[in-house]
Structure 1
Amino acid sequence: MANIQEQVENIPGYDVVMGVWEDYAGDHFQTKDPFRETLPDGKTRKRKLPEGATKDEKKSWKSIQRRAWIDDKCFLGCQPVDCGIGLAPVVAFFIPTLGPIVVYVVHARLIKVACDQFEIGPKLEAKLHANILFDLLISLPPIVGALLAWLNGCSTRNAALIHSSVAKKIVQRQRTDGVDYHRQ
């Protein structure tokens, strides 16, 4: 797996393309890594929901996180190991016309799980659907589409948006749980 990542990273111009893409994505998409978080002491750990999340919320988040990892980072499914390429670009590359449509359905399933489990708002749901529609459109051209789908990382961005929304709701729920509304 590390060998695959090394081969991809040794492609001429890889560093330049990834640097430009990360700068652009950081400025325009403003999403965080849904898989890892950096602690104040500089160490990293697997990203979790904030304290106060229910057991079902934690289970649903892990499911979304795992699905996004397989789709964008490592189609072999090993969480700590990043082979550098996910299921979405592989399917788009090997099944040129039908592959992007299949990947669109897989991405839509991730959104359905998020809507069912977390009751996300219509505005966020529209953003998530716009991300997968954009991913479908850029992945349609053969070969180049697979590269663009790989650079896009649709499920990763959607997972980050879902995490931000759910974390905000959990924090708000914690703040209102201790408030006594009957006292004046």
Structure 2
Amino acid sequence: MKFIETSIPDVKIIEPTVFGDDRGFFMETFRTELFNQHCGERVFVQENHSKSSHGILRGLHYQTENTQGKLVRVTSGEVFDVAVDMRKQSTTFGQWVGVLLSAENKRQLWVPEGFAHGFYVTSNEAEFVYKCTDVYNPNVEVSLKWDDPRVNIQWPLVDGVLPLLSGKDEAGVAFADAPKF
């Protein structure tokens, strides 16, 4: 596996080595020792799998308690995946990283605790799998507004059409008003 730096040093792109032939492929998607060496020691306690259609945007989510680090990847389709630094003491506070993750490129993104996270589906549909360092707790979840002008994420909206959002994400909180770490 290759661990690739991003503009936010704590967020990493993980690129597997893929062994393929006419029968298909094999790749290692996670190894504790390598992950801990490059991303810091973590224990994953929950794994989730979601499916979304073209144009859906999920996020930007984080929890103020039961803070979750997320190791994310796409098993079908393609998404534009985003992490926003919500850590007040960080030199990259309020900055974001966006990466295309797809079943084809097989890349993963490590989003540490203290970040808001979301993704936008650029393919007809996408299946998204992610490991978490803590359990989901809806009582402490925050949804940061996806189009907050302070954060200014450059979402690759297909044909400029606004994304489909859940009610929770539609009512997302502005960065200025959002709880920080």
State the TM bucket, normalised to the shorter chain: under 0.3
TM-score by length of 1: 0.27
Greater per-residue helix proportion: 1
User: Higher relative contact order at CA 8 Å, sep ≥6: structure 1 or structure 2?
Assistant: 2
TM-score by length of 2: 0.27
